[in-house]
Structure 1
Amino acid sequence: MLKLHKSSNTVLFSILILLISVVIAFRWMEFQKIEGLLFNTHKERIIEHIRFTSDIVAQFERKEISGELNRQQAQNAVINILSNADYSSKEYVWITNPSLTMLSA
């Protein structure tokens, strides 16, 4: 098995999560079309989801690097957050220990 340097693993992890966020964004757009809820542009919505995801990835990447979480805990936390996120309105996300609390605007 190929052994990668820890920073390489972190970069690969970040890329994987960003790719997952793009898939989630496209699935969300399909759902919105079905529901008849239109946004200003699909491009803006995709950018918003990618920013949301990259902020979460960056937060947990810092926790992993600091040793607060191990790799598996960080990955599981990010996957759970992205899987359970409610994209139906503007949310402010606060991450603690790594539980998620969302406050709608």
Structure 2
Amino acid sequence: MHLDDKTFTNLLIICQALDAKFPHGADIFQRVSRLCEESGELASAVNHLEGMGVKRRKHGQPQYDNLIKEIQDVMRCAVGIAMHYGVEREVVAAISRSAEGVERK
């Protein structure tokens, strides 16, 4: 499966809109804290889907919608960190190089 080349751009658009809406939330330590928080929520969604612990008993059947939302949130937070340091193009280039290396193998 190939994602279109607009995926990263769309994440940038979302990050820029959120930065404009919440201008005091773009501090790097807030961005990293948000990434950690969202990673925890992603782990919880995976835990629920895999039926570990008491998640299903407490919350019912898992929904892929929640997993998808949490994956997007983690990706958005990571892109926000790239934006903070101004390395968006470099991240895209690094992803392309990695994909090319995998395709060659």
> After TM superposition, is the score higher than 0.5?
no
Larger radius of gyration: 2
Structure with more relative contact order (C-alpha pairs < 8 Å, separation 6 or more):
2
For normalisation by structure 1, the TM-score amounts to: 0.34
Task: Give the structure with the higher percent helix.
Answer: 2
